């Protein structure tokens, strides 16, 4: 069956529930969670998507954005992944001030998926939950591809993403013995450990006293903190050593710029998006030379770690191919379970 035939069959399935062109399905966050994939399913979806990205089987312009405040961004993130019949866009915002000032999450967003044969929108859903699910999946898959024998993992930032990263990483790094976590707020570290302790059986969870303790003791590290144009350089280059794998989710923010610039391999999820952010001033010391994209490593097109003493940095800032793939899984499951509200267009 070719793609056109698959799309026609897909359209028939959708129209058994909603009338394309005159109706649209609306899914709340709770309904997305009910229909959504679990950790293992998410890892499967994202690994398949990264493989497709590495093989250039997608269409995804670099995310564009607006910035009403210096510490705030809105991103428009469209993508098309033919192999998963997923086509749509995420509109997402990040307000770091929200939790403290308004008692609201810092990230919110909406997903829209379109029916590919006609182009009409077919579903609107919450976009924050699937973002929280796919982001740690990318980190964990990249970690397994670059450092499968790691025994120690360090997580900087113990919010929603920190919790997700610790929850996911044990599914992909099978030799882990210790996980170090660090956050400027002790209560955040305590909350993370309380939420994940039953899911990391046999792995010791350690609240680090400082960023230096994490950096000096971990084979693999990730950071999910705030994103700023100015490099905060919390982790210093003298704390990092040969043979480590570093997987930031926060651009150039958290790590001293020389760490990325002097890495043996600098890998990114999307070249185009990193070049775009460089042009916007997020790499004031210059964008390091890019060796490969994460998907190219996952697909086996480019070599990952070739020597034990390589220092590898793999920057994953989030790609909409992953978002639309996750959203398509949620939409399909919601149709099967009769979830959501049908609205008139």
Q: Is the pLDDT of residue 1 over 80?
A: no
Is the same domain home to 196 and 270?
A: yes
Is the same domain home to 125 and 89?
A: yes
Q: What's the angle, vertex CA 292, arms to CA 111 and CA 284, rounded to 5?
A: 80
Q: What is the DSSP string of 150-176?
A: --EEEEE--SHHHHHHHHHHHHH-TT-
205: its two tokens: 């969870």
pLDDT in tens, 194-209: 999 999 989 999 999 9
Is the same domain home to 36 and 137?
A: no
192: its two tokens: 């993370």
Q: Which residues contact 168 (CB under 8 A, 6 or more apart)?
A: 39, 42, 43, 136, 137, 139, 140
> What is the pLDDT at residue 100?
86
> What is the pLDDT at residue 83?
93
Q: Is the pLDDT of residue 63 over 80?
A: yes
This prediction has a pTM of 0.94
Q: What is the mean pLDDT of the chain?
A: 95
Is the same domain home to 125 and 163?
A: no
> What is the pLDDT at residue 226?
82
Is the same domain home to 100 and 10?
A: yes
> What is the pLDDT at residue 99?
86
pLDDT in tens, 315-339: 999 999 999 999 999 999 999 999 9
Is the same domain home to 206 and 329?
A: no
Number of domains in the chain: 2
Q: Among residues of the chain, what percentage have pLDDT more than 90?
A: 84
Q: Is the pLDDT of residue 280 over 90?
A: no
Cβ–Cβ under 8 Å, residues 31 and 334 = yes
Cβ–Cβ under 8 Å, residues 279 and 304 = no
291: its two tokens: 């060796």
Across-strand partners of 344? 23
Kindly report the CATH number assigned to the domain that includes residue 304. 3.40.50.720
Average the pLDDT over 139-161 and give the result: 97
Domain containing 20 equals 3-130+321-344
Is the same domain home to 144 and 50?
A: no
pLDDT in tens, 91-131: 999 888 888 899 998 889 999 999 999 999 999 999 999 99
Is the same domain home to 297 and 325?
A: no
Is the same domain home to 333 and 293?
A: no
Is the same domain home to 75 and 126?
A: yes
> What is the pLDDT at residue 66?
92
Cβ–Cβ under 8 Å, residues 46 and 141 = yes
Q: Which residues contact 216 (CB under 8 A, 6 or more apart)?
A: 239, 241
> What is the pLDDT at residue 333?
97
Q: Compute the CA torsion angle 35, 36, 41, 47 (nearest 10 deg).
A: 140
pLDDT in tens, 206-261: 999 999 999 999 999 999 998 877 888 999 999 999 999 999 999 878 999 999 99
Is the same domain home to 16 and 114?
A: yes
Is the same domain home to 167 and 310?
A: yes
Kindly report the CATH number assigned to the domain that includes residue 106. 3.30.1780.10
Q: Which residues contact 19 (CB under 8 A, 6 or more apart)?
A: none
CA proximity to 268, closest of 238, 243, 237, 289? 289
């Amino acid at each position: 069956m070719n793609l056109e035939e698959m799309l026609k069959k897909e359209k028939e399935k959708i129209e058994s529930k909603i009338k394309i062109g005159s109706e649209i399905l609306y899914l709340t966050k709770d309904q997305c969670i009910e229909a959504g994939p679990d950790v293992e399913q998410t890892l499967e979806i994202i690994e398949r998507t990264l493989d497709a990205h590495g093989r250039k089987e997608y269409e995804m312009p670099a995310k564009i954005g607006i910035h009403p405040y210096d510490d705030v961004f809105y991103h428009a993130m469209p993508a098309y992944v033919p192999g998963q019949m997923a086509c749509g866009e995420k509109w997402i915002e990040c307000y770091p001030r929200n939790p403290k000032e308004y008692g609201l999450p810092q990230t919110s967003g909406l997903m829209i998926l379109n029916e590919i044969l006609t182009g009409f929108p077919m579903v609107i859903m919450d976009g924050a939950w699937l973002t929280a699910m796919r982001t740690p999946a990318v980190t964990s898959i990249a970690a397994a591809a670059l450092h499968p024998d790691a025994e120690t993992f360090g997580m900087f930032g113990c919010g929603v993403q920190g919790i997700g990263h610790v929850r996911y990483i044990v599914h992909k790094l099978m030799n882990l013995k210790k996980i170090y976590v660090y956050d400027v707020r002790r209560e955040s570290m305590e909350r993370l450990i309380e939420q994940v302790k039953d899911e990391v059986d046999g792995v010791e969870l350690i609240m680090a006293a400082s960023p230096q303790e994490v950096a000096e003791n971990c084979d693999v590290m990730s950071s999910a903190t705030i994103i700023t144009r100015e490099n905060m350089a919390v982790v210093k280059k003298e704390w990092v050593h040969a043979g480590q794998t570093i997987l930031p989710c926060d651009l150039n923010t958290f790590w001293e710029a020389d760490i990325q610039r002097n890495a043996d391999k600098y890998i990114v999820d999307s070249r185009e998006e990193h070049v775009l952010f460089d042009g916007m001033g997020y790499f004031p010391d210059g964008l390091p030379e890019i060796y490969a994209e994460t998907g190219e490593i996952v697909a086996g097109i480019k070599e990952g770690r070739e020597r034990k003493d390589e220092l590898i940095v793999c920057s994953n800032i989030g790609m909409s191919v992953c978002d639309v793939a996750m959203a398509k899984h949620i939409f399909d499951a919601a149709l099967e379970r009769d979830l959501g509200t049908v609205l008139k267009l």
